[in-house]
A and B are shown apart, each in its own frame.
Chain A
Amino acid sequence: MAIIEVKNLKKKYGPPAGGLTAVDNISFEVNEGEVFGILGPNGAGKTTTLEMIEGLKGITSGQAFLDGHDVSKDTRTVKSLIGVQLQSSSFFEGLNLLELLETFGALYNRKVDAMELLREVQLEEKAKSQHKELSGGQKQRFSIAAALVNDPKVLFLDEPTTGLDPQARRNLWELITEINKKGKTVVLTTHYMDEAEILCDRIAVMDHAHIIALDTTQNLLKLPGLSTSIHFLVDKPLDIEQLKAITGVTSVQSEDHTYRLTTDNSEATLSDLFKLSREAGVKLVDLQLHQPTLEDVFLKLTGHGLRD
């Protein structure tokens, strides 16, 4: 069931910004309980899209519904149903984490168990600290806690792991997965392919204000034209023509004793390759398989890399 429906959503920034169209006529749905990712380079329009759905930015044209409520009409209802982590946000100074969460609860007209929330994001020992005393990863975890004070149906996370070290990122991925397991729908944006692959059930790829692909992660990786590459070393040379004849192989490159095959059917290619090497009495050393990544998907779709 769709908890978010976006129909022909468009955002044009006013004349001072040169009449820039940041989001151009996009439509998609987010299903209840899934982790939905919006992947795209800087300036693609990810934040703008999220903020229109969150009721923070005016919609130029089109509609967005959250749990059946029109976000531009029932804005306050929508806001009470969602939890928001902004791309960059800080909190009041002079209050400790417990006080901050209680204050946020009050904004929803709720009393909250702030300690329990801090425990959920593993920050209970920082309860009496100020927000500015937290590390980058702790800050992100705290802002997720703040986004959970109203027990939201949908959690929006705008680039939750940007700028974090690998350890802190993994930590946050676990947290997001846990929250999702408790039944909350999560919508996140990211520039990181690995993050999208690990976390997201479905991904919308955004570039220049448009959604250029939307599918499950697995399907995106099976996009026609994407190939797996196989690298290996040999003790004796192999016949290039024979390699080219292997099922699925699309290209062969060789240099000294190193070979690189690309294939659109990795299982078949591998089994044929092993058979060939056994028959030829050639030993394959250091065999490596490179699965296509979302990076490749992106490159394939747009003709340019994610960070150009």
Chain B
Amino acid sequence: MFTLWKLTVVAIKMFVRNKQAMYFTFFFPIFLMVVLGLINFDSATKFDVGIVLNAPPSAQTKQFIEGIKQVPVFEIHEGIESEERKALQDDKRAAVFIIPADLIPGPSEIKVLANANEPAESAAAVNIISGMLDKTALTLSGGANHFTVNKEEINSHHLKYIDFLLPGLVALSIMQMTIFTVAFLFVTFKEKGILKRMIATPMRPSTFVLSNVIVRLLITLIQTAIFISIAVIFFNVQIIGSYWLIALIAILGSLMFLGLGFAISGMASTVESVPVFANLIAFPMLFLGGTFFAIESFPTWLMNIAKYLPLTFLSHSMREVMTKGASFAQISTDIWWMIGWAIILVILANWTFSFEEKRQ
């Protein structure tokens, strides 16, 4: 126990003092998130505004609608109520206005469905239209009665790019950190004879491996927590699902890639060949593992490969929980696949990686 404890402390020290490991574990992913988060892929130059007429409009109403169409920042969509409500829920509208057929000052009421996810845009739309109504009302009734705008907020959850990106980035960082730090460390140790020196002591190799696994799992959790905090604090990302479930997924993903890291440590005989092996495996997953792009956007054949990659299960389950609040049962397929991959990779690692020199 003393040996395990001490080795764990030592592994933490070595990790923290390794500038490269720290850079790739923390600073690079944070940098990536900040850059991608600041580029606002979602910003539209126009507000999408829906207009619903439930009956053929009167001349006055028609004129009013024409007036709305002249507003340069509006992209007007006319449709029936149910379709426009749906569009609003899908975040395709900032606001939807339900306009009575006959616009009479006083009793007439324009109903506004505002998208709560785009408060600034919908408020602007409401302001502009209220202003127009006021003018209309003034010309119609001499200013006594105003139209009332009845605002109803629709609370559909809006997915911005950063919301999509965060779980993928967390998954990707877990993969990079575990594979690279394990493979570099152990191949260096092997090459420099450090492993041999260690097995000249009564220490059990498994103790040393275990201490490094514990440290990587701890770092995985810290990494995940830091990324989520930054996304929540600076980019207003909402985490819908359970943090416990996120932690569980992170650990499972980490275990899977630890297996891969040790397997690579066994296959690479020199430190120079580590990035070759690691990139051969990690690089395709970088693009295909659902970090930056949804795999549904791939051609079918590619999607069929991509959906079985270890990283895909990790980023998918992470995304389901973070953005949709998925429960354990809802992501159990991903969980089982990750467990399966972890078992396969650990067996592979056992087969390729050994403390002893080969073929003794």
Question: Judging by beta carbons under 8 Å apart, are B200 and A56 in contact?
Answer: yes
Question: Judging by beta carbons under 8 Å apart, are A95 and B200 in contact?
Answer: no
Residues of B85-127 whose CB lies within 8 A of A: none
Given A56-B199, A95-B10, A90 contacting B194 (CB threshold 8 A): yes
Q: How large is the interface on B (under 10, 10 to 19, 20 to 34, 35 or more residues)?
A: 20 to 34
CB distance from B350 to the nearest CB of A (A): 19
Question: Judging by beta carbons under 8 Å apart, are A79 and B200 in contact?
Answer: yes
Q: How far is the CA of A87 from the CA of B199 in the complex (A)?
A: 15
Question: Judging by beta carbons under 8 Å apart, are B14 and A92 in contact?
Answer: yes
Residues of A93-128 whose CB lies within 8 A of B: 93-95, 99, 102-104, 106-109
Question: CB within 8 A of B13: which of A77, A84, A90, A99?
Answer: A99
Question: Judging by beta carbons under 8 Å apart, are B14 and A109 in contact?
Answer: no
B2 interface residue, CB < 8 Å from A?
yes
Question: Judging by beta carbons under 8 Å apart, are A93 and B14 in contact?
Answer: yes
Residues of A within 8 A of B194 (CB): 89-92
Residues of B2-17 whose CB lies within 8 A of A: 2-3, 6-7, 10, 13-14, 17
Residues of A within 8 A of B10 (CB): 92, 95, 99, 103, 106
Choose among A76, A93, A108 the residue with the greatest number of B CB atoms under 10 Å from its CB.
Answer: A93
B240 interface residue, CB < 8 Å from A?
no
Q: In this complex, what residue of A is CB-closest to B4?
A: A106
Q: How far is the CA of A76 from the CA of B357 in the complex (A)?
A: 18
Q: How far is the CA of A99 from the CA of B6 in the complex (A)?
A: 10
Question: CB within 8 A of B203: which of A14, A84, A86, A107?
Answer: A107
Residues of B within 8 A of A14 (CB): 359-360
Question: Judging by beta carbons under 8 Å apart, are A103 and B201 in contact?
Answer: no
Question: Judging by beta carbons under 8 Å apart, are B198 and A94 in contact?
Answer: no
Q: In this complex, what residue of A is CB-closest to B197?
A: A89
Q: How far is the CA of A115 from the CA of B269 in the complex (A)?
A: 36
B192 interface residue, CB < 8 Å from A?
yes
Question: Judging by beta carbons under 8 Å apart, are A103 and B196 in contact?
Answer: no
Q: How far is the CA of A104 from the CA of B199 in the complex (A)?
A: 11
B72 interface residue, CB < 8 Å from A?
no
Q: How far is the CA of A17 from the CA of B360 in the complex (A)?
A: 10
Given A79-B201, A84-B197, A86-B197, A103 contacting B192 (CB threshold 8 A): no
Residues of B within 8 A of A92 (CB): 10, 14, 194
Given A106-B6, A107-B3, A89 contacting B201 (CB threshold 8 A): no
A57 interface residue, CB < 8 Å from B?
yes
Q: A residues bordering B, Cβ < 8 Å?
A: 13-14, 16-17, 54-58, 76-77, 79-80, 84, 86, 88-95, 99, 102-104, 106-109, 146, 150
Q: What are 5 A-B contacts with C-beta separation under 8 Å?
A: A56-B196, A102-B6, A106-B3, A106-B10, A107-B201
Q: B residues bordering A, Cβ < 8 Å?
A: 2-3, 6-7, 10, 13-14, 17-18, 188, 192-194, 196-203, 357, 359-360
